[in-house]
Amino acid sequence: MRSFRKRLGEAARRNESWLCVGLDPDPAKLPEPLRSLPPLEAVERFLREIVEATRDLVCAYKPNSAFYEALGPEGFSLLRRLIRGIVPEEIPVILDAKRGDIASTARKYAEAAFEGLGADAVTVNPFLGFDAVEPFLRYEGRGVFLLCRTSNPGARDVQDLPCGGKPLYQYIAERAVEWRTRHPEGGELGLVVGATYPEEVARVREIVEDEMLLLVPGVGAQGGDLEKAVRAAANSRGENALVVAARSVLYASPQDDFAEAARREAERLRLALQSALGAE
């Protein structure tokens, strides 16, 4: 399998976009016209139309596992169908699962994400240390995004704690630089840094230098400023920062025109990203 990095770069160049759309379907928020359908059917149709409307505007899609798990075993089947069939093959899928467990269990999570569901990359929690991350990194050609500084208000409870003279998230970024090179034949290690904290994002980019991929959620519904976030996250060539929007794209309109509205919002974000990066 060609590397995640290459496949992502190709999609970004083809669509001239570093926008990643989060596919987090909530039955309670679906557009009005879909609500008369059975929930699973409504969600699947919603996802198909959103992907069809945005596939030439994104570098990747990011489904969050929680929204599928909440739909029960059939939701898990839908997640597999989404990754293996609904999303076009040339667009990488990042499974946002934030898994973290001891090595023997992490191997099972990696198997579920990469072999079962067919994800191209997965998000992982660093709290258990390197041996919990390694089983994911052993998969050649895949991507692993380690949580560093998340986009939620509570991020500061733990991630900002001063650890040996610096906030914990900076320590995680330093470890990631080191862990990234331990499996040269394995997957690509990147970091998750929330758009809601542009100063912290800039500090992380400084620590990890140009090569590392940063996944930047929190634009849109979570209130992160897109321009500030992407300028802070991109490297010196205006690359390697995937900016994620989910709710603002998915629920751009509650009516029949939801797919067109999603397309308009994705296009707006894509152009704003281009402009922010070009204006540097």
Angle (nearest 5°) at CA 45 between 40 and 51: 125
Amino acid at site 61: Y
CA-closest candidate to residue 272, choices 243, 246, 248, 250: 243
Please say whether the beta carbons of 100 and 125 come within 8 A: yes
Q: Is 126 in the site for a copy of itself (CB under 8 A)?
A: yes
Closest to a copy of itself by CB, 175 or 228: 175
Query: Active site includes 62?
Result: no
Closest to a copy of itself by CB, 187 or 234: 187
> Which one among 37, 76, 177, 186 touches a copy of itself, defined by CB under 8 A?
76
Q: Is 129 in the site for a copy of itself (CB under 8 A)?
A: yes
> Which one among 150, 170, 240, 248 touches a copy of itself, defined by CB under 8 A?
150
* Span from 35-43, 76-84, 229-237, 266-274 in contact with a copy of itself (CB under 8 A): 76-84
How far from the centroid of its chain's Cα atoms is residue 107's Cα?
Answer: 21
For residue 208, give the 3-state DSSP assignment: helix
Q: Is 116 in the site for a copy of itself (CB under 8 A)?
A: yes
Question: What sign results for the dihedral spanned by CA atoms 8, 22, 52, 17?
Answer: negative
Please say whether the beta carbons of 5 and 235 come within 8 A: no
Q: Is 67 in the site for a copy of itself (CB under 8 A)?
A: yes
Q: Is 108 in the site for a copy of itself (CB under 8 A)?
A: yes
Q: How far apart are CA 139 and CA 261, in angstroms?
A: 37
Closest to a copy of itself by CB, 66 or 236: 66
Q: How far is the CB of 129 from a copy of itself (least distance, A)?
A: 3
- Cα–Cα separations (whole angstroms), residue 254 to 58, 174, 250: 22, 43, 9
Name the residues that contact a copy of itself, by CB under 8 A: 24, 26, 64, 66-67, 69-70, 72-74, 76-77, 80, 98-103, 105-106, 108-109, 111-112, 116, 125-132, 147, 150-159, 161-164, 168, 171-172, 175, 222
Catalytic residue numbers, as ranges: 98
